[in-house]
């Protein structure tokens, strides 16, 4: 019985890390990119953060078993002065 519960827990997705791609509008220079990078680095759920300025793409991978919801991502980016165009999760 315990084994079944464990399998169900693992399959629920919460136990895994997430890969989140965020398309950001208004990000134009490396200072913007650095600023966003810094904001996300400060969050404990974030394992790695990468900003691609050419593609205006912020790639976040979370710690195992951790997640960041869309609202939090939008809040961070909006407060930094940019707009979220799209959020994709893998
Ligand atoms: Cu800038």
User: What is the predicted pLDDT for the residue at 90?
Assistant: 85
pTM (two decimals)? 0.81
Burial of 54 (0-12, 13-18, 19+ CB in 10 A): exposed
- pLDDT, mean of residues 45-63: 96
Structural domain spans, the chain = 15-89
The mean predicted confidence, pLDDT, of the chain is 90
Distance from residue 30's CA to the centre of ligand 1 (Å): 6
* Rg from Cα positions in the chain: 15
Alpha-carbon span 22 to 77, nearest angstrom: 10
Q: Please state which CATH number belongs to domain 15-89.
A: 3.30.70.100
pLDDT digits (tens, 9 = 90+) for 1-26: 667 666 665 555 556 889 999 999 99
C-alpha 83 to ligand 1 mean position (Å): 13
What share of the chain in percent tops pLDDT 90? 80
Taking the centre of ligand 1 as the mean of its atom positions, its distance from the CA of residue 34, in whole angstroms, is: 9
d(CA 51, CA 59): 6
Query: Ligand 1 mean position to 1 CA, how many Å?
Result: 55
């Amino acid at each position: 019985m315990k084994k079944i519960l464990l399998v169900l827990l693992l399959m629920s997705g919460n136990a895994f890390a997430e890969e989140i791609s965020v398309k950001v509008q208004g990000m134009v220079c490396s200072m913007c990119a650095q600023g966003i990078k810094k904001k996300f680095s400060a969050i404990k759920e974030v394992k790695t953060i990468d900003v691609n300025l050419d593609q205006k793409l912020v790639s976040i991978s979370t710690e195992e078993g951790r997640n960041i919801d869309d609202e939090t991502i939008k809040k961070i980016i909006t407060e930094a002065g940019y707009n979220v165009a799209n959020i994709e999760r893998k």
